[in-house]
Chains A and B, each alone.
Chain A
Amino acid sequence: MASYSTNEFKAGLKVMLDNDPCAIIENEFVKPGKGQAFNRVKIRNLKTGRVIERTFKSGDSLEGADVVDVAMQYLYSDGEFRHFMVPDTFEQYQCDEKAIGDTSKWLKDQDSCTVTLWNDAPLAVSPPNFVELAIVETDPGIRGDTSGGGGKPAVLETGAVVRVPLFVQQGEVIKVDTRTGEYISRVKE
């Protein structure tokens, strides 16, 4: 893998830091007029998701990380692993729950998602920005209430709990923004 100097640290670049694959978020050049130049870098650890700040001497370099995002289809869970497939090649990958993390609550069989591979092994799974899921459980609402004020919790088929307006009923399919976990609209079947 190539190595990258601080000058090449652009947002999105994947590098190895402390033996973990990381993504550069922000890179600021800091140079006192009469002193040493530094690069103050904001970086996300792709294994833990944690964002840290780290300073480098300008010109230092980091090893690149073999990290790619691949669009895949979620197939099924066998209880221990979740299985994914690349639609074009039918290549399959299995992921443990740790890599899936919070994403599991948005994953429905056959849905597409993005799997981040590090050295060809799944590192993380991200859901599409919007998913359409059926409500399996919610209090009966009051018909005619379209104000949207208040709302109530609704359990979705994947286990996620989302606040929905009072008029939304059990059995209906709704559209949810996975980045915020917020209800967007009802989906007409």
Chain B
Amino acid sequence: MLDEWQPTCSIDILRLRAQVFNDIRRFFSARAVLEVETPLLGYSGGTDPQLDFFTTDFCSPPLQHTLFLQTSPEFAMKRLLAAGSGSIYQIGKAFRNGESGRFHNPEFTLLEWYRVGFTLPQLMDEIAELMAVLFEGHRALRPTQRCSYQGIFQRYTGLNPLEFSYQDYCAYAQKNNMPEAVGICGTDHGLWLDFIFSHNVQPHLGENAVCMVYHYPACQSSLARINECNPLVTDRVEIFIDGIELGNGYYELLDAKEQGRRFDEEIAVRQQRKRPVTVKDKHLVAALEAGLPECSGMAIGLDRLLMLLTNSATINEVLNFPIHRA
């Protein structure tokens, strides 16, 4: 094509992106949250079995090291928190290999922030305030909704997400015209939840409103804390607008031993699924051993936020050079 050199978004979108970045910086500056920048290249990647990495080689002859492009700035930011940074935020790029589609580009922009001393409900209040600031003047949203994962899952499917009943789940899949789910998910509870939630629950969430879903099932979370009162759920929140997943937050896990154990589990799952080998981030485990302050953290995909601000149908409409033109 003749105009392949052109950006896929309009110049107006460039301006809007700049304005959103400004609004975010003003919002956190007024709350004395410090802006930080952490490395995109690191010696270890995450262990999340669902994520694939970009790797590259660091050449300093005679040595050569494999480096990973970061899938999120989470680990480095937690090391800053453990070192005493206080509340911090970052606007930066993250990289996830193989993710490309209407809502995905393998290189994308994240806003990630951590609030020292915040519980999950306090973090959710702040998310609502930030969303109100960012949407003002662009789109009038209805009041923010908050619902538990169990409540919303049960409402749209009639199934209990916290208790796995293979028979009930299979019957549901047959009845709802998705018999392939049985073959794909087998007896993997987490996979069943991913399948059913993304097909039949998520599309209903946050119709012209911010919808916050909290208390994810314990099998659905790697770095969130298990809830104090109910060990079946974690203190994890996800936000949705118009059925689009916009961000994810945790009341952060502090226990280094527990974190080390979850890393080992994930590495085992990766091996089982024959995914590329990764190593445990020993710096993060050491930082947790030194002591992470009580905190809550949240990550929001800013490209999707721009899509929602402008009612764009694809992520390409808000990126200047998506991967096929990069």
With both chains docked as a complex, state the minimum distance between the C-beta of A85 and any C-beta of chain B, in angstroms.
Answer: 38
For chain A residues 23-59, which have a beta carbon within 8 Å of chain B?
28-38, 40, 53-58
Q: Is the CB of B195 within 8 A of A36?
A: yes
Q: Interface size on A (CB < 8 Å)?
A: 19
With both chains docked as a complex, state the minimum distance between the C-beta of A18 and any C-beta of chain B, in angstroms.
Answer: 10
Q: Considering residues B101, B102, B190, which has the most beta carbons from chain A within 10 angstroms of its beta carbon?
A: B101
A54-B180, A57-B184 are known contacts. Are A37 and B99 too (CB-CB below 8 A)? yes
Closest to A39 in B: B101
A35-B220, A40-B199 are known contacts. Are A29 and B194 too (CB-CB below 8 A)? no
- In the bound complex, residues from chain B placing their C-beta under 8 Å from that of A53 are 177
- In the bound complex, residues from chain A placing their C-beta under 8 Å from that of B103 are 29
- In the bound complex, residues from chain B placing their C-beta under 8 Å from that of A7 are 98, 100
A37-B50, A40-B199 are known contacts. Are A32 and B181 too (CB-CB below 8 A)? no
A32–B102 CA distance with the chains assembled, in angstroms: 13
A36-B191, A58-B98 are known contacts. Are A30 and B50 too (CB-CB below 8 A)? no
- In the bound complex, residues from chain B placing their C-beta under 8 Å from that of A29 are 99-104
With both chains docked as a complex, state the minimum distance between the C-beta of A167 and any C-beta of chain B, in angstroms.
Answer: 45
Closest to B216 in A: A34
A33-B245, A36-B50, A37-B50 are known contacts. Are A28 and B101 too (CB-CB below 8 A)? yes
A130–B102 CA distance with the chains assembled, in angstroms: 35
A153–B208 CA distance with the chains assembled, in angstroms: 48
- In the bound complex, residues from chain A placing their C-beta under 8 Å from that of B98 are 7, 37, 58
For chain B residues 244-261, which have a beta carbon within 8 Å of chain A?
245, 247-248
Q: Interface size on B (CB < 8 Å)?
A: 30
Interface string of A106-126 (1 = CB under 8 A from B): 000000000000000000000
A8–B101 CA distance with the chains assembled, in angstroms: 12
Interface string of B197-223 (1 = CB under 8 A from A): 111001000000000000000001110
Closest to B222 in A: A34
Closest to B184 in A: A57
- In the bound complex, residues from chain A placing their C-beta under 8 Å from that of B238 are 33
Interface membership of B48, Cβ < 8 A: yes
Q: Is the CB of A55 within 8 A of B50?
A: no
Taking a contact as CB atoms closer than 8 A, the residue among A28, A35, A40, A54 that contacts B194 in the complex is: A35
Q: Is the CB of A34 within 8 A of B181?
A: no
Q: Is the CB of B195 within 8 A of A34?
A: no
For chain B residues 167-190, which have a beta carbon within 8 Å of chain A?
177-178, 180-181, 184, 190
Which 6 A/B pairs are nearest by Cβ-Cβ distance?
A29-B101, A35-B194, A36-B194, A33-B248, A30-B198, A57-B184
Name 30 A/B residue pairs within 8 A (Cβ), A-sorted. Answer: A7-B98, A29-B102, A29-B103, A29-B104, A30-B101, A30-B199, A31-B50, A31-B99, A31-B104, A32-B197, A32-B202, A33-B245, A33-B248, A34-B50, A34-B220, A34-B248, A35-B197, A35-B198, A36-B50, A36-B190, A36-B191, A36-B194, A38-B184, A38-B194, A54-B180, A55-B178, A55-B181, A55-B184, A55-B199, A58-B98
Binding site for A on B (CB under 8 A): 48, 50, 98-104, 177-178, 180-181, 184, 190-191, 193-195, 197-199, 202, 220-222, 238, 245, 247-248
Given contacts A31-B104, A34-B220, 15 further A-B contacts (CB under 8 A): A29-B100, A30-B101, A31-B99, A33-B238, A33-B245, A36-B191, A36-B194, A36-B195, A37-B50, A38-B194, A38-B195, A53-B177, A54-B180, A55-B178, A55-B180
